[in-house]
Structure 1
Amino acid sequence: MAAPENYTKALQESQDVFHRFPLQLVHGIPLMEPIAQQWGPIENFQARPDDLLISTYPKAGVQQLANVPSPRVIKTHLPFQLVPKSFWENRCKVIYVARNAKDNVVSYYFFDQMNKTQPEPGPWELYVQKFMDGKLAWGSWYDHVCRYWAERANHCILYVFYEDMKEDPAREIRRVMDFLEVELPPQVLEKIVQQTSFQIMKENPMANYSSVPSTILDQTVSPFMRKGQVGDWKNHFTVAQSKVFDAHYQRRMQGTGLHFRTQL
């Protein structure tokens, strides 16, 4: 099964005092301690052929999922190599959403500040270095986005860019419809575009995590859904940081054939 997105629910039911959990390596990938400790059931999760897996790098309950009727929509932040093999054996469809590295690291930094179960993010300049080194929860952004991109030829993976969704959501929703082999009338498509806009979702308790106690997600530090912009990285990177980051990025992405836009 995919990583347990609802592990905060288990934490809420616990009598323990909330604290920032350390990272533990699982097959070389740093994961949150509660996830690493239940890795056996996750790794052995049995996918069904009609499962839809939606995967993202961040800022992109095993037993509970096992009893959910088909078709199931399952979300995960797991890198490709940690996704349970049953998803690939059953040729499940996967939608992968990728966001440019600079906006991704900014968003992840603010998320780690407000999420009191994540490791302490520390100062911005050190956080950027940890991002480049792949030492954050869920591992390397570079490995994450590049591996799913490379595996498109071998599996049923639809690769979606966050920037494309911001630019033309209707176009990208039609791509998803084609991938899932479903047809929707124009008025339904229009409603989906409206209801999935960042502003509408930011105000929706089902999407903004406002029901999660502030002891876990302290939204006075930063809202769960913060800006959702393309190019916000310019407000946080210094000129020197941007230059160092760009040089490292070019080295890591060279030859991958994968290109992101950092502004629209």
Structure 2
Amino acid sequence: MEEVLLSLLRPPLSFPLPGFLAVNIFKQHPDEDSSTTGAFLARAESVPSPRVIKTHMPSSLLPPSILESCKVIYVARHPGDVCVSYYHLQRLLKSVNFKGDLEEFLDLWCRDLVLRGPYWSHLSEAWAKRTHPNLLWLYYEDMKKDLLRELQRLDHFLATGLTEDELLQVAQHSSFANMKARPATNLSLIPESPGLMPGEAEFVRKGATGDWVNRFTSQMKAKFQGKGIVYWRLLLQRIVCPSYRGSSDREDFCFRLQISCRCDFGGTSGDA
């Protein structure tokens, strides 16, 4: 069981490494850009197999044969919440040092000018492989709603054979509240963390679903939806899913169908 829990903290392929490992690399190589010198990749390669590697990279930047030799778990999240979360992260990281406000960041988002974007291209690349037996597609919203249920899906996918009690321990260990409270996963808890800007939101910040509607002004919502999301919402609500009118799950339901429609029918990345 200890090995299962520790595997959650294994090094990612992309910035940043968990907690103290990332800080140690920054301290050992203060003047180096670890994304180009390969420090993080070297750390990942030093971990014995089987291992867990986290990355934000799209499928097109990963090895083409990755699904033939690895199990891949892809987590999708509503674009509005991704935009807000990413805005705070870009302000927090010294390597990015974004100085603008959320409205300015949204403009860059809608013009596909943010790092690791565009959002819809990222999704569509993974969506095209969703039926591969070595890829598991998860929704962030599902994990927030019922983490244990999604862990059971993950347990089946990885064939780890955990008992219900062990899954409950993993659910507790990996809950948002516990991850926010641990320096190993929340870099903001490490005193004088060299990679973070002081005075910004925490590295593990809020983890809410649907909060983007509270952060966008009416003008920002119009811009965000004007890139095409409103078209799909109206189509799906009026034609495909009229029974969802007035339902609290409507936004989430239509978001999932947007993914299906856009990715299956070639929606452009700029539409988000």
TM bin, normalised by shorter chain, reads: 0.7 to 0.9
When the two structures are aligned, how many residues end up with a matched partner?
Answer: 221
Aligned partner of residue 75 in structure 2, secondary structure: strand
Tell whether the 8 Å contact from 1:2 to 1:83 is kept in structure 2 after alignment: no
More contact order relative to length (CA 8 Å, sep ≥ 6): 2
Residues 205-248 of structure 1: per-residue CA shift (max 9 Å, x gap): 11111227344213531111111000111221011211221231
User: 1:102 offset after TM fit, Å?
Assistant: 0.3
Aligned-residue CA RMSD in angstroms?
A: 2.7
Q: What's the offset of the Cα at 1:74?
A: 0.7
Letter in 1 for 2:197: D
The answer on whether the counterparts of 2:59 and 2:126 sit within 8 Å (CA) in structure 1 is: yes
Q: Distance in 2 between matches of 1:160 and 1:107?
A: 18
Pairing partner for 1:72 from 35, 51, 63: 51
The answer as to 2:270 corresponding to 1:255 is: no
Structure 1 alignment gaps of length 5 or more: 19-32, 43-60, 259-264
Alpha-carbon distance between aligned partners in 2 of 1:186 and 1:67, rounded to the nearest angstrom: 32
**Equivalent position SS for 2:162:** coil
**How far, CA to CA, are the matches of 2:147 and 2:63 in structure 1?**
30
Offset, 1:4: 5.0
Q: State which of 176, 192, 203 in structure 1 corresponds to 2:154.
A: 176
The equivalent residue for 1:96 is: 74
Cα gap change, 1:93 to 1:179, in 2 (>3 Å): same
Q: What is the TM-score with the length of structure 1 in the denominator?
A: 0.74
Separation in 2 of the partners of 1:10 and 1:86?
30
Which 5+ residue runs of structure 2 have no aligned equivalent?
1-11, 233-257, 266-272
Secondary structure in structure 2 of the residue aligned to 1:76: coil
Alpha-carbon contact 2:13-2:44 (below 8 Å) kept:
no
Instruction: State the TM-score, normalized to the length of structure 2.
Output: 0.72
- The match for 1:211 is 190
Whole-Å Cα distance in 2 between the matches of residues 110 and 77 of structure 1? 16
Match of 1:238 in 2: 217
Report the Cα distance in structure 1 between the residues aligned to 2:28 and 2:228, rounded to whole angstroms: 41
Q: Measured at CA, do residues 118 and 65 of structure 1 come closer, stay the same or move farther in structure 2, by a change above 3 Å? A: same
CA drift of 1:100 comes to: 0.6
Q: Could you report, residue by residue, the CA deviation over 1:158-205 in whole angstroms, capped at 9, with x for unpaired residues?
A: 011000000111110011011111221111111112221111111111
Matched, 1:228 2:207: yes
Please say if 1:14 is aligned against 2:29: yes
Counterparts of 2:82 and 2:178 in 1: how far apart (Å)?
Answer: 21
Structure 1 match to 2:14: 3
SS at match of 2:216: coil
**Distance in structure 2 (CA, Å) of the matches to 1:228 and 1:199:** 9
Larger radius of gyration: 2
Once the two structures are TM-superposed, the CA of residue 105 in structure 1 deviates from its matched residue by 0.6
